[in-house]
A and B are shown apart, each in its own frame.
Chain A
Amino acid sequence: MEILLPVLTGILFSVSIYFILHRHLFKLILGLILFGLATNLFLFVVGGMKRGGIAIIAQGNEVPVEPYSDPVPQALLLTAIVIGFGIQAFAIVLIRRVYQTFRSNNMDNLNNNEKI
């Protein structure tokens, strides 16, 4: 998986950017969500991933036994995922609202502000 994950993340990045570049509002949400996912995976890979070795101190020990994975990127990731969710939820609702107001799913039509 160490070799596959960079490729997978790359594909994820490509697809998400392609969706973001789309004019369609729905695809924009998909793109945003996938981009967040890709970024998380990117952080995970760059943080140095190791198979096995959970960062939990076993009963009876005072310090974790090597090999165990680096807890710092994981903590970062947790934060990133949760914040990402906040943004996603807000984006979804916002886009619903925009669609309700403009009755358009084409982002290029949003530039005229007559309807607001």
Chain B
Amino acid sequence: MLVVLVLCLLFAFFAPRLYRLLGRYVAIPMAILPFGIFVYLLSFFPEVLRGSYIIQLYKWVPALGINLQFRLDGLSLLFGLLITFFGGLIMVYAAGYLKDNPLLGRFYLYLTLFMAAMLGMVTSDNLFCLFLFWEITSITSYLLIGFDNKNVKARSSAWQALLVTGMGGLALMASFILINLATGSYTFTELLAQNTSFSGHSYFAPALILLFLGCFTKSAQFPFHFWLPNAMAAPTPVSAYLHSATMVKAGIYLLARMSPVFAGADAWGYTLVVIGGCTALLGAFLALQHTDMKAILAYTTISALGQMVMMLGLGTTVALKAMLVFLLAHALYKGTMFLAAGAVDHCTGTRDITRLNGLARLMPVTALAATLAALSMAGLMPFFGFIGKELLYEAALSSKIYVWLVFGLTFLTGIVYVAVAVVLSFGIFWNKVKHPTKLEHAPGYMLYLPPFILGFLGVAFGLAPKIAVTPILERAVQSISRGELVELELALWHGFTKELGLSVLTIILGLLLYKALKFVQSRYAILNPVYNLGPERLYHKAFDGFLVFAKKLTMVLQNGNLRRYIIYLILFFSALMFYVLWHDTPHILFASRVVIIQELPFHDVVIFVLVSSALFYLLGTRSRLTSIVVMGLVGYSAALIYIMFGAPDVAATQFLIETLTVVIFVLLLHKLPAFIYLSHQFKKYNYIAISILFGTVMTYTMLVVQDHTIESELKTYYGQTSLLEAHGRNIVNVILVDFRALDTLGEITVLAVAALGVFALLRMQPEKGEKP
């Protein structure tokens, strides 16, 4: 698998270069790749059909349990075949659809990258490996939706899709971590092998909720469905591939994978049935009111995804079967319809169903493909969609929970599908009118062949399900139902069952709905105020609010005023210190200090009084010279303190440095600005408060430290070795020039650099013509 993925990456990143070499014939190698992988995956067919699965392990971060581990079983293989076959057709189609676009190479880059990620995702066994590929699909989806980067709508839709699915991705990662913590397993294989459910674990509920968040955002379930219709801003091949056939099914895939692990829990079934049901109904309902072909298809896709989630929620074997069969049928007919819609859009320049009619004579193959797909979607007899619909009804009727609700929803959406199918085939292509829509150009073979092939497969699978799809579907069902092998009887004719009767009823009601569609659509306007309150509005509010908040926060924290930065630093530091001192350290016993104060020697008090009064004087003085003198006084006092506490070297240095500072200061005095008062009185008080706060925190810290002196081992070490090994009696000096000599060298370098800087600044003359 790794080889395949690497090959995909290579092809992806060479696509722009190939485009420069081959022009639009770049489609040939790009389409050969997915078909090649398709054949490669087919080579695993016999092994998977024997009921075994293939595991391939490449170590990546074994210490963290993150490995590139791939698992190819029935479900993975089904998805893998779907992805590659579809991918190949889309590559061809894209060459026709975007043939004049100079960015075709880039388009293939994104698309191939997406395909690689999708393939990696459905074959991943390791949870984190899956997460990685999951995120790549989100990112490539973002790039593909925003492919038309000059279009504001496309850009904002891409953002929206990325934010929503990205948020879900984060939730998913958290969920995986929790699952891992609770069960200790990193791979699906381990998870499935565990017999005991971890439903009793305290992490079970959060892991489940987060998993739902991840899958629902990806698969556009209510209330996160809003990004999918907006994602239709992408070029049609992308909509067909990502947002109908593959990527949005990633959520379904993961839920299906996880269902053996979670299915025992009540929360699993009820949540999925309720959310899936809501989504199915909402999608169907919204699909009816749109006149844009892609919008209609998007909403029916949402509805179909809801159906699948609902079936997963039911969890019975027949429901799982129905889910997978419907998934395949849906991918086939929805892909076809998208591609046909794209062809119509490309040739006529519009996607509005009210302006399109009688196209069958002008684009016969597209019309045929769309009709085949529509018949499959409506669930007519010899088509694969029919089998899917029968199974859905069977599963709904045998549901253990909410049986009438589940069946009612399935039935209602079925009716809507029929109506939509009629709109998108009969209404556009076969409706006899005097003035059929004019074509801007006829569709090329690249535009009509891929949908035709897909549409044809819908019939072929329907006519011969036993040879074509039953074995792989059986194994796929097996891999999501704890390994039990289930017999899958797919046939068109089961005799006169009640499902057959219901199918017929669905079609009749659907046709009636089509007749009444104009009337229904005219009534939709009443609902507009309701949509304004929908989740999309919430998204926009949150998004805008976030931006405003971020801007405000930045303006408050980082407004470019350096003093404010210092204030925040000090306040934050003080708060941290305060917390630590209050929370973690023993408090000072002030009582014991009183004795020490009484025993203070006289000269100490003199220095203290001298320095502190000097400092207070410094605060008030307006003379620069006085300031310098007072500052020198403070420095010399510090030197005195060093002497008193056994640090003559430090004191000597301090004397020297202080003198030098004063000298430099005085030399430059006449070139330095004179005093004036600049700050407002009010601000001054703020500053005073902050300064006192900082000083107090520092004093308190020092007092605490004094209570807990530690004897350092270094002191003893340097004491022992100073004379004997380094041959020096002054330990401080020995440390500086011997033990830590390199540090001192660094220090000298710093000084030298500073001296150079000073020299440059003093000597540098403004260039002529410039202001001084």
Which residues of A line the B interface, CB within 8 A?
Answer: 1-15, 17-18, 20-27, 29-30, 33-34, 37-38, 40-42, 44-46, 48-59, 61-64, 68-72, 74-75, 77-79, 81-90, 92-97, 99-101, 104-108, 111, 115
Contact = CB atoms under 8 A, between A and B. Distances in A.
- Name the prevailing secondary structure of the A interface residues: helix
Nearest to A110: B562
Chain B interface residue bracket vs A: 35 or more
Contacts of A10: 695-696, 698-699, 702
A96 B698 contact: no
Interface string B698-742: 110011011001111011001110111000011110011000100
A85 B661 contact: yes
Contacts, number: 282
Contacts of B660: 85, 89
B554 interface: no
A93 B762 contact: yes
Interface string B605-639: 10110011001001100001001000100110010
Given A57-B731, A77-B647, A90-B757, A46 B679 contact: no
B583 to A, nearest CB: 20
B747 A93 contact: no
A74 to B, nearest CB: 5
A14 B691 CA distance: 4
Given A14-B694, A57-B729, A72-B718, A92 B668 contact: yes
Contact of B678 (A24, A78, A87): A24
Contacts of B743: 79
B560 A111 contact: yes
Contacts of A33: 631, 635, 661
Contacts of B757: 90, 93-94
A1 B644 contact: yes
B678 A101 contact: no
Nearest to A23: B678
A69 B647 contact: yes
Interface of B: 560-563, 566-567, 570, 593, 596-597, 600-601, 604-605, 607-608, 611-612, 615, 618-619, 624, 627, 631, 634-635, 638, 641-642, 644-650, 653-654, 657, 660-661, 664-665, 668, 671-676, 678-679, 687-688, 690-692, 694-696, 698-699, 702-703, 705-706, 709-712, 714-715, 718-720, 722-724, 729-732, 735-736, 740, 743-744, 747, 750-751, 753-755, 757-758, 761-762, 764, 766, 771-772
Contacts of B751: 82-83, 85-86
Contacts of A25: 672-673
A81 B688 CA distance: 27
Most buried by B among A10, A54, A74, A83: A74
Contact of B698 (A9, A18, A24, A100): A9
A3 B702 CA distance: 10
A97 to B, nearest CB: 5
B638 A40 contact: yes
A90 B758 contact: yes
Contacts of A5: 641, 702
